C-alpha cells in the first residue's frame, strides 16, 4: 500500500448510523463483481442500509461500467455461467443464488443505480458542485459514505495536476472538490474516500518515509499497477 488509511476509515465509518453508501464505480468484469460483493457485505454487516451504484453513461476508457453492463451481468451473465454445464452443482447453486439475490436487491431498492453524464465530461471533480449540483448533493448530503473506485476517479479528484506525492496536506487538495462537505445540511461531513491501484503519476498524501521507500523499490512505482491507495478525501 502506498497510502493506507483503513483504520481511520473504519473508525469514521462506525461513527455513523447505517445509511446510504454511494459507490462510484470504475471497471466492469471482475472489478464490478467485487463491487457487488462489497455492497452485499456492507448490507449484511449492517454498515449500510442501501448502496447506490454510480456507473458511467458510456465507457469512457473502454472498460468502464455502464448501467447496461450491470443489467446484462445479472440477467444474462451470471446465469449463463451457471448454466454453462462446466461447473459443479454446488458452484451452480451458489452462482444462481447470488444472481437471484442481487436482482432482488435492485428490485427492492437496497441496491440502485444513478447514471450521470458528468462522469464523462473533460472536467476535474472540483467542477462537480457547479456543473452537476444534484449529483454533488447526492454524494455529500444524501449519502453518509461515498467511495470513489479506481485510478481515473483519483486523477480527476486531483484535477490530473502534478501535486507533490508526499504532500502533507492532501485534505486541502481534495477539498477543492468538496468545499461544502463540512457545512452540508446535516451539520457534519460525510465520509468520502477513494480506493485505487496506482496506474498514473498522480498522487498526494504519501508520507515522506513511504515515498522514499517506494522510489527505492521502483522509481516508476506509481504507474505499475502494484501499489494501492485507501485514502480519505473528506473525514466525518
What are the boundaries of each domain within the chain? 3-234
**125-139 confidence digits (pLDDT tens):** 999 999 999 999 999
pTM above 0.85, yes or no: yes
Give the whole-angstrom CA distance, residue 18 versus residue 80.
34
Q: CATH assignment of 3-234, given 3.40.50.10880, 1.10.10.10, 3.10.20.30, 1.10.10.60?
A: 3.40.50.10880
Give the whole-angstrom CA distance, residue 113 versus residue 23.
9
Packed helices 30-44 and 89-108: angle between N→C axes, nearest 10 degrees:
70
Does residue 189 contact residue 141 with C-beta atoms inside 8 Å? no
**pLDDT above 90 for 26:** yes
Distance of CA 52 to the CA centre of its chain: 11
**pLDDT above 80 for 84:** no
Higher pLDDT: 114 or 15? It is 114
pLDDT band per the 50, 70, 90 thresholds, residue 184 = very low
Q: For residues 101-106, give the mean pLDDT.
A: 94
Q: For residues 114-129, give the mean pLDDT.
A: 93
Give the whole-number percent of the chain exceeding pLDDT 90: 56
Q: What pLDDT sits at residue 15?
A: 85
**Containing H/E element for 172?**
helix 170-175
Give the whole-angstrom CA distance, residue 70 versus residue 77.
9
pLDDT band per the 50, 70, 90 thresholds, residue 181 = very low
Range scoring the smallest mean pLDDT among 21-30, 75-84, 102-111, 179-188: 179-188
**136-167 confidence digits (pLDDT tens):** 999 988 999 999 999 999 999 988 888 888 77
For the chain, what is the largest distance between any 2 Cα atoms, rounded to a whole number of angstroms? 55
Amino acid at each position: 500500500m502506498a497510502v493506507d488509511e483503513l483504520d481511520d476509515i473504519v473508525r469514521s465509518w462506525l461513527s455513523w448510523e447505517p445509511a446510504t453508501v454511494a459507490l462510484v464505480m470504475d471497471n466492469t468484469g471482475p472489478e464490478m463483481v467485487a463491487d457487488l460483493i462489497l455492497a452485499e457485505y456492507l448490507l449484511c454487516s449492517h454498515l449500510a442500509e442501501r448502496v447506490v451504484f454510480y456507473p458511467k453513461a458510456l465507457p469512457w476508457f473502454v472498460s468502464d461500467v455502464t448501467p447496461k453492463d450491470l443489467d446484462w451481468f445479472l440477467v444474462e451473465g451470471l446465469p449463463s455461467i451457471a448454466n454453462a454445464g462446466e461447473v459443479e452443482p454446488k458452484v451452480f447453486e451458489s452462482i444462481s443464488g447470488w444472481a437471484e439475490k442481487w436482482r432482488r436487491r435492485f428490485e427492492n431498492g437496497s441496491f440502485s443505480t444513478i447514471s450521470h453524464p458528468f462522469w464523462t465530461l473533460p472536467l476535474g471533480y472540483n467542477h462537480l458542485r457547479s456543473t452537476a449540483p444534484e449529483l454533488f448533493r447526492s454524494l455529500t448530503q444524501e449519502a453518509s459514505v461515498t467511495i470513489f473506485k479506481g485510478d481515473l476517479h483519483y486523477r480527476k479528484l486531483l484535477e490530473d495536476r502534478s501535486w507533490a506525492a508526499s504532500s502533507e496536506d492532501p485534505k486541502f487538495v481534495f477539498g477543492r472538490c468538496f468545499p461544502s462537505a463540512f457545512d452540508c445540511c446535516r451539520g457534519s461531513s460525510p465520509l468520502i474516500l477513494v480506493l485505487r491501484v496506482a496506474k498514473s503519476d498522480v498522487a498526494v498524501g504519501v508520507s515522506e518515509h513511504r515515498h522514499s521507500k517506494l522510489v527505492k523499490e521502483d522509481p516508476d512505482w506509481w504507474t505499475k499497477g502494484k501499489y494501492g491507495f485507501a485514502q480519505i478525501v473528506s473525514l466525518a
